[in-house]
Amino acid sequence: MRDYLLLHLVILAWGFTAILGKLITLPPIEVVLWRTAIAAAGFALLTRGLKQNLQVSRTDLWKMLGVGAILGLHWILFFLSARLATASVSLAALPTAMLWCSLIEPYADGTRRWRPLELLVGIIIVGAVWMIYEVELRYWLGFTVGIVSALLAALFAVMNKQLVARSHYAVMGYYQMLGALVIAMLAWLVTTPGQFNIPGASDCLWILLLATVCTVGAYAGYMAVLRRMSVFTVNVVYNLEPVYGIILAVLIFGSQEHMSGGFYIGASIIMGSVLIVPWLSRWVERKPLVKLFPRG
């Protein structure tokens, strides 16, 4: 019961990141700069507390930094999506990462075989995405940026899967935050050089919360429950992130987050599709092939 509660708190913290992205007044790139710098320091302290060695091979180092750079780009676009539209819109785009994962992973693992069930759900998600574009055209740019952000999140998840068995999660977190920090610094130098903003008191509080609780703490909690709970259960609860986030956004921002009925129908289809995939996958795996494809 304690692990189940901890997992829900972790997902709630991740769902809260879009809200923090709206509350912080700094530009998205600078938000990621501060977030990753503080989180890297937090992971460094965590590795020391857990008595883990930060020394890794040069190959793994570059891979972790590269995966971290993808994560940094994902965060920049995710926060930018919330600024261009609303927190609810950016969160509604996030579950499309499942569709991107199902398309990318077969190439990453070398099988080049797509799962029919995931492709079917992906088609449903595409239809729901089109519905959102139709009814919320005013937020088309923010939603599009959110979908690209989800693509990067899928790419991060697929590539990260190749690294998780090689190093301790705190060591991975440290180097990935450094990679994200580097890409955020490069993005800042390219877009707004010499215009770095010092966060005010409220921004400092939100950034600290974002970096410590929603990044270091949430990731540590996630890895802790992953050791003791089934991957199936973790994945089902993980898919509740946009649900929690949209509810929190409505509660905190009120009328700013109120969308049309068509948006909520489309978002519900996307989230419902993602939530039902683990259950359908388990059901399909248990069914004998003869029953799935009856003759005559």
Cβ neighbours for 80, distance < 8 A, ≥ 6 positions apart: 28, 142, 145, 149
Structure tokens at 265: 């129908």
The reported pLDDT for the residue numbered 158 is 84
The reported pLDDT for the residue numbered 257 is 79
Measured CA to CA, the distance from residue 68 to residue 238 in angstroms comes to 20
Measured CA to CA, the distance from residue 196 to residue 170 in angstroms comes to 29
**3-state SS assignment for residue 12:** helix
**3-state SS assignment for residue 51:** coil
The reported pLDDT for the residue numbered 292 is 39
Prediction pTM value: 0.86
The reported pLDDT for the residue numbered 294 is 41
**3-state SS assignment for residue 262:** helix
Measured CA to CA, the distance from residue 18 to residue 80 in angstroms comes to 10
Amino acid at 111: T
Structure tokens at 216: 């270091």
Q: How many CA atoms lie less than 13 Å away from 45 in the CB half-sphere?
A: 9
Structural domain spans, the chain: 2-6+17-286
Q: Around Cβ 4, how many Cβ atoms within 10 Å?
A: 12
pLDDT tens digit at each of 296 positions of the chain? 788 889 889 999 999 998 998 899 999 999 999 999 999 999 999 999 999 999 999 999 999 999 999 999 999 999 999 999 888 888 888 888 877 887 887 777 666 566 777 777 777 888 888 888 877 788 889 999 999 999 998 898 888 877 877 888 899 999 999 999 999 999 999 988 777 788 899 999 999 999 999 999 999 888 888 777 766 667 677 778 888 888 888 888 887 777 888 888 888 888 887 777 767 766 766 654 443 334 34
